[in-house]
Amino acid sequence: MSETPDTPEGRPPSGAPLAGSHILVGERDEATAERLSRTLRTAGAASVHVVGSPAAFLRAGADPPPPVRLWDAAVWHAGLTEDHDELAQVLGRWRGQRPGVPVVVTDDAPSTRLAVAALRGRAADLVERPDADALVAALARALAERADQLGVEGTGQKSLRMLVVGAHPDDVEIGVGGTIHRRAHNGWDVTILTMSRGGGGGDPAQRRKEAHGAAEAMGARLLMEDLPDGSIADDRATVQAIERAVAEVGPDVVLVHSESDTHQDHRAVHRATLVACRKVTRLACYQSPSATVAYQPNRFVELSETDVEAKLAAIAAHHSQASRRWYLDEDLLRSTARYWGRFSQTLYAEPLELVHDSTPLGYFNADYA
Ligand SMILES: [Zn+2]
């Protein structure tokens, strides 16, 4: 609908209640939207993006328009939904996409029934629409609570650490190259651990060089072990190699091959990772070309066109493999990401099979992996 400029005329002091935040607003009335944008900008918001329908609200929630990477909070006018059930549904879907990003609901004359619906949808607050001061105060409270959960001062994200484990060079690029790029781009610290040097598929020195180029294309750093390609075991040595990486990285999230995979090396690395990462908060499995139909993803990481391009660039960095492997065909990689996009209601996505998650609710901002 409309967007206020990115550079405010008079930059607010850094102590402003909404300093540096990016706020999505669902509001159909243009005059109200403009007034609201001005109020939020004056209170320090770095950007305010206004949409006029539930569909546009959820779309913008899933894929913030540049330069916004992540929303800090949202404002939703109750009049935009048909009834209270729809309001609770929209808030529920928002939470599915953006768990931890607070929504403040506004209404001209909030009723008890509306308050119940907002509560059911776990809105951060409910305020009367013309009351700008109350809205700014509610947003500031919600942002402060979220900052507490994230363990950071002010708005923004704690730098999360992700370890991605693969048996062979190019495994993680194919499985979660887009996810790695997206998280690294969002400020996560991403490390790839490759368990072998790929001697079964070419010259190990060449493959090592390619793997480093690929990691760089995704914004991650690379650790390489030297287990025997084709006969990796789920034994003590494999577990210890992964434990060393876990001790070094201290990951909040680990991604690895699935148990549902026809490649013995992939299954061995999966099992050894489960043991080595028994104390890691969150562990999920990506899809390899050798995954079986038993692979059952339950999380979908939305990808932008840029993430898909980075994934393809990382895979192309494996020059020695690109022309030899059917599963490295660009059309297949792109259409697979397009297919999984149907589950996250975005154009592209990568699937994950969540194995365990002991994260306190609301700790992670928006992202499942
Ligand atoms: Zn592999």
Q: What is the pLDDT of residue 360?
A: 59
Question: Do 120 and 180 belong together in one domain?
Answer: no
CA 235 to ligand 1 center in whole angstroms: 18
Question: Do 323 and 203 belong together in one domain?
Answer: yes
Is residue 36, in this structure, part of any structural domain at all?
yes
CA 62 to ligand 1 center in whole angstroms: 31
Is residue 363, in this structure, part of any structural domain at all?
no
pTM, entire model: 0.60
Split into its structural domains, the chain has a count of 2
Q: What is the pLDDT of residue 200?
A: 72
Q: What is the pLDDT of residue 148?
A: 63
Which domain-ending residue is among 117, 150, 183?
150
Is residue 71, in this structure, part of any structural domain at all?
yes
Is residue 362, in this structure, part of any structural domain at all?
no
- Quickly list DSSP for 195-240: EE--GGGS-HHHHHHHHHHHHHHHT-EEEEEEEPTT---SSHHHHH
Which domain-ending residue is among 124, 150, 176?
150
Is residue 50, in this structure, part of any structural domain at all?
yes
Alpha-helical regions (H) of the chain: 30-42, 54-62, 84-97, 112-120, 132-150, 171-185, 204-218, 236-249, 264-276, 305-316, 319-322, 330-344
CATH code where residue 43 lies: 3.40.50.2300
Question: Do 120 and 259 belong together in one domain?
Answer: no
Which of 224, 230, 220 is CA-nearest to residue 244? 224
pLDDT tens, residue order, the chain (369 aa): 444 444 333 334 457 889 888 999 999 989 989 999 999 999 999 999 999 999 999 888 877 887 777 788 999 998 888 888 889 888 888 876 676 789 999 999 888 888 888 888 889 999 998 788 999 999 999 888 776 655 443 334 457 899 999 999 999 999 999 999 999 988 889 999 999 987 777 787 888 889 999 999 999 999 999 999 999 999 999 999 999 999 999 999 999 999 999 999 999 999 999 999 999 989 999 999 999 999 999 999 999 899 999 999 999 998 887 666 778 789 999 999 999 999 987 889 999 999 988 765 545 444 545
CA 350 to ligand 1 center in whole angstroms: 17
Is residue 260, in this structure, part of any structural domain at all?
yes
CA 206 to ligand 1 center in whole angstroms: 17
Question: Do 261 and 293 belong together in one domain?
Answer: yes
CA 228 to ligand 1 center in whole angstroms: 12
Cα distance between residue 351 and residue 175, in whole Å: 8
Q: What is the pLDDT of residue 64?
A: 81
CA 4 to ligand 1 center in whole angstroms: 48
Question: Do 253 and 185 belong together in one domain?
Answer: yes
CA 304 to ligand 1 center in whole angstroms: 25
**Lateral strand order in the sheet of 22-26:** 2-3, 47-51, 22-26, 73-77, 103-107, 125-128
Cα distance between residue 75 and residue 82, in whole Å: 17
Is residue 320, in this structure, part of any structural domain at all?
yes
CA 175 to ligand 1 center in whole angstroms: 10
Domain coverage including residue 214: 161-357
CA 317 to ligand 1 center in whole angstroms: 16
CATH code where residue 216 lies: 3.40.50.10320
CA 168 to ligand 1 center in whole angstroms: 5
CA 156 to ligand 1 center in whole angstroms: 36
Which domain-ending residue is among 99, 129, 150?
150
CA 171 to ligand 1 center in whole angstroms: 5
Cα distance between residue 320 and residue 278, in whole Å: 35
Question: Do 216 and 300 belong together in one domain?
Answer: yes
Question: Do 199 and 242 belong together in one domain?
Answer: yes
CA 266 to ligand 1 center in whole angstroms: 6
Is residue 70, in this structure, part of any structural domain at all?
yes
Which of 357, 330, 175 is CA-nearest to residue 261? 175
Question: Do 185 and 131 belong together in one domain?
Answer: no
Question: Do 281 and 257 belong together in one domain?
Answer: yes
CA 48 to ligand 1 center in whole angstroms: 44
Cα distance between residue 142 and residue 21, in whole Å: 12
CA 24 to ligand 1 center in whole angstroms: 41
Q: What is the pLDDT of residue 149?
A: 57
